[in-house]
Amino acid sequence: MEESYIRRMAQCITRMDGQYYDYARRSLASENEVYVLYTLSDGGEYSQKTICDEWHIPKTTVNAVVAKMKTDGYVEGAGAEGREKLLKLTPKGMEYAKRALAFIHDAEDYALKRTLERFSPAFVDALEAFAAYFTEYGEQKNGN
Protein backbone atom coordinates (compact mmCIF):
# COMPACT_ATOMS: atom_id res chain seq x y z
CA MET A 1 0.00 0.00 0.00
CA GLU A 2 2.78 2.49 0.83
CA GLU A 3 4.30 1.98 -2.60
CA SER A 4 1.08 3.07 -4.28
CA TYR A 5 0.96 6.21 -2.11
CA ILE A 6 4.57 7.04 -2.96
CA ARG A 7 3.91 6.51 -6.66
CA ARG A 8 0.77 8.66 -6.60
CA MET A 9 2.55 11.40 -4.68
CA ALA A 10 5.56 11.34 -7.01
CA GLN A 11 3.23 11.59 -10.00
CA CYS A 12 1.42 14.54 -8.39
CA ILE A 13 4.68 16.34 -7.66
CA THR A 14 5.85 15.76 -11.23
CA ARG A 15 2.52 16.98 -12.62
CA MET A 16 2.66 20.13 -10.47
CA ASP A 17 6.26 20.75 -11.51
CA GLY A 18 5.15 20.45 -15.13
CA GLN A 19 2.32 22.91 -14.53
CA TYR A 20 4.73 25.45 -13.03
CA TYR A 21 6.90 25.01 -16.12
CA ASP A 22 3.89 25.52 -18.43
CA TYR A 23 2.66 28.51 -16.44
CA ALA A 24 6.14 30.04 -16.50
CA ARG A 25 6.21 29.65 -20.29
CA ARG A 26 2.90 31.56 -20.48
CA SER A 27 4.18 34.45 -18.40
CA LEU A 28 5.90 37.60 -19.57
CA ALA A 29 9.23 36.32 -18.27
CA SER A 30 11.54 33.42 -19.09
CA GLU A 31 11.18 30.30 -16.96
CA ASN A 32 14.26 31.06 -14.88
CA GLU A 33 13.24 34.71 -14.56
CA VAL A 34 9.93 33.51 -13.13
CA TYR A 35 11.75 31.63 -10.37
CA VAL A 36 13.87 34.66 -9.49
CA LEU A 37 10.79 36.90 -9.54
CA TYR A 38 8.85 34.39 -7.47
CA THR A 39 11.52 34.44 -4.78
CA LEU A 40 11.96 38.22 -4.71
CA SER A 41 8.28 39.16 -5.13
CA ASP A 42 7.55 38.85 -1.41
CA GLY A 43 9.54 42.07 -0.95
CA GLY A 44 12.37 40.33 0.86
CA GLU A 45 16.09 40.42 0.20
CA TYR A 46 17.76 37.22 -1.01
CA SER A 47 21.18 36.13 -2.15
CA GLN A 48 21.75 34.44 -5.49
CA LYS A 49 22.81 31.35 -3.50
CA THR A 50 19.42 31.24 -1.79
CA ILE A 51 17.66 31.43 -5.15
CA CYS A 52 19.89 28.66 -6.53
CA ASP A 53 19.23 26.45 -3.51
CA GLU A 54 15.46 27.02 -3.42
CA TRP A 55 14.89 26.37 -7.11
CA HIS A 56 17.80 24.03 -7.91
CA ILE A 57 19.02 26.34 -10.67
CA PRO A 58 22.74 26.54 -11.50
CA LYS A 59 24.53 29.62 -10.16
CA THR A 60 25.63 30.65 -13.67
CA THR A 61 22.00 30.64 -14.81
CA VAL A 62 20.81 32.72 -11.85
CA ASN A 63 23.75 35.09 -12.35
CA ALA A 64 22.79 35.63 -16.02
CA VAL A 65 19.11 36.15 -15.15
CA VAL A 66 19.96 38.62 -12.38
CA ALA A 67 22.36 40.54 -14.65
CA LYS A 68 19.63 40.90 -17.28
CA MET A 69 17.07 41.91 -14.67
CA LYS A 70 19.48 44.53 -13.29
CA THR A 71 19.95 45.92 -16.80
CA ASP A 72 16.16 46.03 -17.24
CA GLY A 73 15.84 47.91 -13.93
CA TYR A 74 13.94 45.14 -12.13
CA VAL A 75 16.55 44.10 -9.54
CA GLU A 76 19.02 46.00 -7.39
CA GLY A 77 21.57 45.22 -4.74
CA ALA A 78 20.35 45.41 -1.16
CA GLY A 79 23.37 45.07 1.08
CA ALA A 80 25.06 41.88 2.15
CA GLU A 81 24.61 38.86 4.39
CA GLY A 82 28.08 37.67 5.29
CA ARG A 83 29.90 37.30 1.98
CA GLU A 84 26.70 37.04 -0.03
CA LYS A 85 25.30 40.10 -1.76
CA LEU A 86 21.56 40.46 -1.31
CA LEU A 87 19.10 41.33 -4.06
CA LYS A 88 15.66 42.87 -4.06
CA LEU A 89 13.14 43.98 -6.62
CA THR A 90 12.91 47.64 -7.53
CA PRO A 91 9.43 49.22 -7.65
CA LYS A 92 9.54 48.63 -11.44
CA GLY A 93 10.51 45.02 -10.73
CA MET A 94 7.63 44.58 -8.27
CA GLU A 95 5.17 45.74 -10.94
CA TYR A 96 6.76 43.42 -13.48
CA ALA A 97 6.62 40.50 -11.03
CA LYS A 98 2.96 41.19 -10.29
CA ARG A 99 2.11 40.99 -14.00
CA ALA A 100 4.45 38.09 -14.81
CA LEU A 101 3.29 35.95 -11.88
CA ALA A 102 -0.43 36.77 -11.99
CA PHE A 103 -1.50 33.56 -13.74
CA ILE A 104 0.66 31.39 -11.47
CA HIS A 105 -0.64 33.08 -8.32
CA ASP A 106 -4.24 32.79 -9.54
CA ALA A 107 -3.74 29.06 -10.25
CA GLU A 108 -2.15 28.53 -6.83
CA ASP A 109 -4.93 30.43 -5.05
CA TYR A 110 -7.58 28.45 -6.91
CA ALA A 111 -5.94 25.08 -6.20
CA LEU A 112 -5.24 25.83 -2.53
CA LYS A 113 -8.73 27.16 -1.89
CA ARG A 114 -10.32 24.08 -3.46
CA THR A 115 -7.93 21.76 -1.60
CA LEU A 116 -8.52 23.38 1.79
CA GLU A 117 -12.29 23.14 1.25
CA ARG A 118 -11.84 19.35 1.13
CA PHE A 119 -8.91 18.87 3.49
CA SER A 120 -7.65 20.66 6.58
CA PRO A 121 -4.74 23.11 6.54
CA ALA A 122 -2.77 20.21 8.04
CA PHE A 123 -2.41 19.09 4.41
CA VAL A 124 0.22 21.80 3.90
CA ASP A 125 1.97 20.89 7.17
CA ALA A 126 2.08 17.23 6.08
CA LEU A 127 3.51 18.16 2.67
CA GLU A 128 6.20 20.28 4.32
CA ALA A 129 7.03 17.42 6.70
CA PHE A 130 7.32 14.94 3.82
CA ALA A 131 9.64 17.30 1.92
CA ALA A 132 11.78 17.81 5.03
CA TYR A 133 12.05 14.07 5.75
CA PHE A 134 12.78 13.31 2.09
CA THR A 135 15.58 15.91 2.10
CA GLU A 136 16.86 14.72 5.49
CA TYR A 137 17.24 11.18 4.20
CA GLY A 138 19.26 12.33 1.20
CA GLU A 139 21.50 14.47 3.39
CA GLN A 140 22.12 11.60 5.82
CA LYS A 141 23.02 9.24 2.97
CA ASN A 142 25.33 11.82 1.39
CA GLY A 143 27.01 12.61 4.70
CA ASN A 144 25.88 16.27 4.76
- Per DSSP, 47 falls in state E
Phi-psi region of 139 (alpha: psi -120 to 50; beta: other; left: phi over 0): alpha
Is CATH 3.90.76.10 correct for 2-142?
no
Q: What is the mean pLDDT of residues 81-86?
A: 79
pLDDT in tens, 2-60: 889 899 999 999 999 899 888 888 887 788 899 999 999 999 999 999 999 988 899 99
Single out the residue of 113, 81, 91 nearest to residue 41, CA to CA: 91
Q: What is the mean pLDDT of residues 72-98?
A: 89
Q: How confident is the model at residue 1 (pLDDT cuts 50, 70, 90)?
A: low
pLDDT on residue 144:
60
CA distances from 62 to 31, 32, 50, 82, 109 (A): 11, 7, 10, 19, 27
pLDDT on residue 77:
86
Distance between CA atoms of 32 and 21, rounded to whole angstroms? 10
Single out the residue of 51, 108, 111 nearest to residue 75, CA to CA: 51
pLDDT in tens, 111-128: 999 999 999 999 999 999
Let me know: does 84 contact 49? Beta carbons within 8 Å: yes
Distant-in-sequence, close-in-space partners of 21: CB < 8 Å, separation ≥ 6: 31
Average pLDDT, the chain: 90
Angle CA 134–53–62, to nearest 5: 145
